[in-house]
Structures are given as structure tokens and as C-alpha cells.
Amino acid sequence: MKKIHVTASTEYDISIGSGVLDELGRELKGLTKAKTVVLVSDSNVFPLYGERCLKNLKESGFDAKSFVFKAGEASKCMKTYEELLEFLCENRLTRSDALVALGGGVTGDMTGFAAATYQRGIAYVQVPTTLLAAVDSSVGGKTAIDLKAGKNQVGCFYQPVAVLCDTDTLDTLPESEFRCGMAEVIKYGMLGNARFFSELLEKDAKAMIGHIIEVCVTMKRDIVQRDEFDKGERMLLNFGHTFGHAAEKCSGFSMLHGEGVAMGMATITKAACKLGFCDETTVEFMDKILDKYGLPKTIPYGVDELLDAALADKKIAGSEINLIVPVKVGRCEIEKVPSTALSDWLKAGGVK
């Protein structure tokens, strides 16, 4: 097992390894005075790992209960959030009790937000079971739910008391979800670690998944420690996300997030080359790695559609957009671009 320590507004450990799930009760015991613990999970993940976690929590002396909701992004909403809060009230959770988020980013984001707001804040543990959640959403304390108006429109920064990432849980993850997680993994290589990027290109990702998670989590930890509240460097983690998110939006969110990120990374890299920020080999490397992991490179929407979607994005501050632009493999920069120039970037990226 590997432990990575985070020093943000609060401090916590991220434990990564096979069988870490069985440390849940013991870990929580050492961190809180909780009597009651509510395990929050979705309808796919609870049947796989829920009972094991409940048993483990009970063995550590907790009064463990579960709240299970229908799997999918549509559940990351006001209604499920409200049902969860009512459930916590019905079970008389006090401020010293705790929540456990067992699942992907949907479970983690919503549970984190409920933990942040229930009685002005109770402790929670992240137990990520998707690759995306392991390398990205479970670390750094961004919590949120969606509104009809858009994704993640309500939320706050609220750090967990621990993250337990059991790499064995990824064995049951559908292949398409694994691929999407790989899009985020590739993002880390491109924005800050050329050696890691080469490893991903040369080796089999599944055979070194623990190592992959450790590298990504360490990079994210370092970025979060320097910029917890997303004022500067943390924006680098949006590489591929401005155009990717616009494409997701155009698809009515039928496109998987990782597919959008992959297309977004390919498009911005191509545009960066055309506009003189990076050379042709950077584009070749990006295309090669996306091909290797079966990820899409072309956005199937037009410039006008994408612009409408992108300009409604919350990350667009005023009339300037922070585009994350690759300079070479292993290095990206934040480029302030007027929103009026966005169509030129899309066109340079090959979008019609």
C-alpha cells in the first residue's frame, strides 16, 4: 500500500493499493469520533462492494447505514442531494458523525457536497471505484451537484478526511469507463510529466495501474497544495476540457466525459501547433497515445454549435478565456484568450 499525504486547508492521507477497502473502518476510527456512518453509493457499485464496506465499518464498532441511489450523472442533482440530507436527519446523524462516498465521481461529488453542508459540515471519506475518481475527482476537495442550467453549478471546496483507493475495484469497471479514465491520465502526462507520457505510450496501462494512480494523484496533490481554490495553476487540470465540455454539451451529455476530454485535447493540441505554440511532433504524440487507448480525436460538431456551448461554460470569466495550451509533451501553459478568438482556435484545431 502507498500513502500520499495532502496538506491543503486540512491535511489527509490518500491510501492506494490492493485490498485497501478493508482498512475503511480502522482508518475512520483513527480520524473521527463518529458513532454513525452513512455509506453513500450508487446502484451499480453498492451490489459489488457495499456489503463488504458495511461489514468492515460494523466490525470497527460503527453503526453503519447505507444510502443507495440510481447510478448515473442524472442523479447528481438537487433531488438526490435532498433525499440524502433527509436520510441523514432521519438517522439522527450529528456533526461528529461521518459519510463514506463509495463509487465514481458522481457519488464522490454529491456526497462531498452533502458532507460540506449537512449541519454546516461533517467528515467524509472518499473511496473511489472508477479510474477517473481515483486519479482526479476524489482528490482536491471540489464537491458539487448539477442544476438544469448546467453541470457542477452548485458546490464548494471541502476536503475529505481520507481517500482510500482500492485498485482491485477497477477490475469490475466497464472497459468504456476505464478508457475514459485514461483520457484524464493522459492529461496529466501532457500537462506536466513527459517521462510518464512515454511510459503510457510504451507500456500496458492495466499492468501498472497502481503506479499510474500514484503518479497522477501526486501531481494533483502538488497542484492542489499550491492552488487549492483554483485561482491559477489548478486551471492546468482543465487541459482538453474547454472544447471537450462544449462537445459533451452539444451531445446532450450522451458522450462520455473522457471522450470529450480526448477530443478536446486532440483539438487544442492541433490548434496550438497551427498557431505556433508547439511543434508537429507534439501533435503526433497526442494522436498516437489517443489511438493506443481507443479514444476519439475529432469533435463531431461545428464551430457555431461548440461556441454556443463553450461560452455558456462557467469557466469563462468575463470576455477572456483561460485556454490550457500545450507547449510540448509534459508542459502546458495558461493562455488568456479573448472569447472572440475562440472560433479561430477551433478552426485551427480542425473543427469545421
Ligand X SMILES: NC(=O)c1ccc[n+]([C@@H]2O[C@H](COP(=O)([O-])OP(=O)(O)OC[C@H]3O[C@@H](n4cnc5c(N)ncnc54)[C@H](O)[C@@H]3O)[C@@H](O)[C@H]2O)c1
Pairing type for strands 36-42 and 63-69 reads parallel
Distances (CA, A) of 221 to 12, 127, 137, 330: 11, 16, 12, 17
Given the C-alpha cell 453549478, which residue does it identify? 153
**Binder to ligand X among 44, 119, 339, 343 (CB under 6 A)?**
44
Q: What does DSSP assign to residue 48?
A: I
245 is a contact residue toward ligand X (CB under 6 A): no
Residue matched to cell numbers 469563462: 316
Separation of first and last alpha carbons in the chain: 48
Asked if 257 interacts with ligand X (CB under 6 A), we say: yes
Nearest approach in angstroms of CB 102 to ligand X is: 9
Q: Does 242 bind ligand X (CB under 6 A)?
A: no
Q: Tell me which DSSP letter residue 170 carries.
A: G
Report the residue number, 42 or 214, with the smaller CB distance to ligand X: 42
Q: Please report how close the Cβ of residue 213 comes to ligand X at its closest, in angstroms.
A: 13
The answer to whether residues 351 and 299 touch, using CB atoms and an 8 Å cutoff, is: yes
- The one-letter code for the residue type at 344 is D
Residue 152 or 343: which CB sits closer to ligand X? 152
Question: How near is the Cβ of 230 to ligand X at its closest, in Å?
Answer: 10
> Which residues, numbered 159-188, are part of the site for ligand X (CB under 6 A)?
169, 172-173, 177
- Which amino acid, one-letter code, is at 80? T
**In the block, residue with C-alpha cell 507520457:** 197
Instruction: Kindly tell me which residue out of 42, 166, 228, 259 binds ligand X, with binding defined by CB under 6 A.
Output: 42
CB closer to ligand X, 220 vs 270: 220
Determine, following the binding rule CB under 6 A, whether residue 76 of this chain makes contact with ligand X: yes
Q: Which of 15, 152, 298, 339 binds ligand X (CB under 6 A)?
A: 152
Site for ligand X in 118-137 (CB under 6 A): 129-130, 132-133, 136-137
Task: Please say whether the beta carbons of 155 and 141 come within 8 A.
Answer: no
> Given the rule CB under 6 A, which of 89-97, 98-106, 187-195, 265-273 is the region that contacts ligand X?
98-106
Closer of 103 and 244 to ligand X (Cβ): 103
The number of CA neighbours under 13 Å toward the Cβ of 335 is: 22
Q: How far is the CB of 101 from ligand X (least distance, A)?
A: 10
Per the CB < 8 A criterion, the answer to whether 131 and 188 are in contact is no
Shorter beta-carbon distance to ligand X: residue 151 or 221:
151
> Which of 1, 8, 31, 71 contacts ligand X by CB under 6 A?
71
Q: Which one of residues 73, 305, 313, 335 is an interface residue with ligand X (CB under 6 A)? A: 73
- Site membership for ligand X, residue 32 (CB under 6 A): no
Q: How far apart are CA 87 and CA 93, in angstroms?
A: 9
Compare residues 106 and 351 and give the one whose CB is closer to ligand X: 106
131 vs 167: CA distance, rounded Å? 9
Q: Which is nearer to ligand X, 112 or 330 (CB)?
A: 112
CB 120 within 8 A of CB 96: no
Beta strands in the chain, from DSSP E residues, in sequence order: 2-7, 11-17, 36-42, 63-69, 98-103, 123-128, 142-147, 150-157, 162-166, 320-328, 331-338
Q: How far is the CB of 319 from ligand X (least distance, A)?
A: 26
Least Cβ distance, residue 315 to ligand X (angstroms)? 13
Give 146's DSSP letter: E
**Interface with ligand X (CB under 6 A):** 42, 44-45, 48, 71-73, 76, 103-107, 109, 129-130, 132-133, 136-137, 140, 142, 151-152, 169, 172-173, 177, 257
